[in-house]
Structure formats: C-alpha cells, structure tokens
Copies of this chain bind each other. A is one copy, B any other.
C-alpha cells in the first residue's frame, strides 16, 4: 500500500520501518517539527511536510501516530476525502477520526516501542474499522506486518491497554527501583538478569499463579521481616514491598494455611 505517516515519534518511526520492511511505500511523513519530519522521511525514503494542509491526497492509507492526547485535535484538522485513516493509540476511541474521513479504524501496536531500539520486537496488533470493508482492509494490511493480528473494539482495546501498562510499565518500574537499590547498596544488578528473563519466558508455558515463589506465598514471616529491615532507608521501596506482600498473601492465603 501507499502510506502517509502523520507523526515522527517512537511509534511513527518503528511502524514506518516495519511498513517499509513489508514493501509498502511511504509516500510522505508529516510532522510539526521540520527537522524531525525530514529525518524520518529520509529514513523511510519519503518526502516530508510540516503542514497538515499539504498532505498527499493520493495515498491508500493514512496512519496517525501522534501522542494520545493530540489524536483528536490533529484528526479534526485533516480533510482526506474519505480516504482510509487509522490511529495507533490504545486509549483513544476510533470515532475521533470521523472528523477526517468516513473510512477509519485502528492499528494499535501492543508493544512498548522506543525508536532507539536496534532490534524490532514482535508486535501484535489490535485492529478495528468503522465499516466491515474498512476492518477487512486494515486487517489485511496488519497481516503484512505482523503474525499476531486481532480485532478489538474500543473497550477491548482499552482493557488490553491497561493490562499492558501493568505488565510492561509497572514491571519496568520495578526493575528501575531494584536497579537503583542495587546501585545504592553496591551489589550487582546484572546478576538478576537471568532470573528476570526466566520469569518472563515461563509465561509461555505456565500459569503465573501456579509458579509463584518467594517469602510472601510461603508465608515466611522471618524472611519478610529481614527484608523490611533492609529497606529501612528506602521508604518508597518499603511501601511497595509491603503492598505486594499483602496482595500475594491475600491471593494465596488458603494455600499457605493449608
């Protein structure tokens, strides 16, 4: 397909590369910042513009990959003569695109995308369309760039979005806090990497509830108290440790008492 990308951030960059790798043609990149738009256009063998009024009207698909809180405002400025437009946001209704065209939908990458990453990760997509034809076209396009494509309405997409925040943003924050703690306490965080990888990989084969380990699920109060004593100088970590320990005890109380 011939694609116009609106946006120059992490999602626009990673998806643009993925489109190109699947032999789609990027005809134009549109971004507010001229330098960023030129840079990404160069990367994608496209031309650039900073003006929404100068958007190429000849493309097959318009991909609006701007920050979540800008999607509605940018869509309202676009006039696409009923060309097919999608946005890439997890928590924004597809209907904000109705201002731009009567043919619209969703191409939402269920991944944490950072343009500085060297390797492109596997990206599952949630797709949606305003009409059956739009949904079919968007699904067909998504299948050219991913092996995991599922249809999901606004509410399902938002539900997976909040779950994604929990399993990626929150876990990454736990890694960040643990790394800062290790640095402060002069122990080697890198020794934890095989453990971190093992826990994540195990989800492919096991129910996480069935393989929970640690002092909380064992009701090992002696170890919990030793840990809390160690966290005396790390009040934020101590609060988090306590909350997780209570939550785990609550979930497995019957198992521990048995």
Contact = CB atoms under 8 A, between A and B. Distances in A.
Interface of A: 10, 67-69, 90-91, 110-114, 116-118, 121-124, 126, 148, 150, 152, 156, 158-182, 185, 187-189, 191-209, 211-218, 220, 222-223, 226-227, 230-231, 236-237, 239-241, 243-244, 247-248, 250-251
Contacts of A110: 191-192, 194-195
A173 B247 contact: yes
A97 to B, nearest CB: 17
A171 B168 contact: no
B160 A167 contact: no
Nearest to A124: B191
Q: So how many copies of this chain end up in the complex?
A: 2
A148 B191 CA distance: 8
Contacts of A212: 169, 172-173, 176
Nearest to A222: B69
A90 to B, nearest CB: 8
Given A114-B213, A169-B244, 16 more contacts: A90-B223, A126-B191, A159-B185, A159-B230, A160-B182, A163-B192, A164-B195, A165-B241, A166-B177, A167-B192, A171-B196, A172-B213, A173-B212, A177-B247, A197-B200, A200-B200
Contacts of A216: 169
